[in-house]
Amino acid sequence: MGRTRTKTNGIILKTLDDADRTLQKLCEIESQIEAVDNFADEEIARIKERAAAEGKPLREQHKASIAALEDYAAYYREELFKDRKSMERPFGNFGYRKAPDSIHVTKETAELLKKHGYDKYLRVKIEPDKEAMLSLSEDELALVKANRRSREDFFIETKREQVNQDLAKIGA
């Protein structure tokens, strides 16, 4: 007999019949969890939809207000920002700030960098291809300080449709 684990929460199985009843219970629990999750997903979708509808006019007003301030600042830029780049006002600040420089590239940039010897501006990520390495022998793996790990994962595949059929027979 194998070792006992303590995460069973008081459930002790001694026979295959016990295991079958537990699998049946798992099917029922999974169906209930699915129903709870589906209900929650529907509620969340309704809440998000309502929030989007209620918030839409506010978001549009927010966007329009920002655009109006930006237009105002651009039109009066020389007067408003001749001594400084921003203005401090009672309800907030607005103005201009230097954005960090950025580089925009084309599809040809990487190839042209390589062609002209600017290799230090290219990124090359070298990493082991573990899936391809599955084909290597144990000796080859040892040569590159790698090893193969095998394990068995415990699994459960419930047959919920059987429980649903049994419930339908009982209800009929």
Q: Tell me if 122 sits within 8 A of 113, measured CB to CB.
A: yes
SS3 label, residue 26? helix
pTM: 0.56
- Write out pLDDT tens, residues 34-61: 999 999 999 999 999 999 999 999 999 9
- Write out pLDDT tens, residues 77-122: 999 999 899 999 999 999 999 899 999 999 999 999 999 999 999 9
Closest C-alpha among 15, 14, 19 to residue 156: 19
pLDDT-based confidence at 157, cuts 50/70/90?
Answer: confident
Q: Which two tokens stand for residue 110?
A: 């990487």
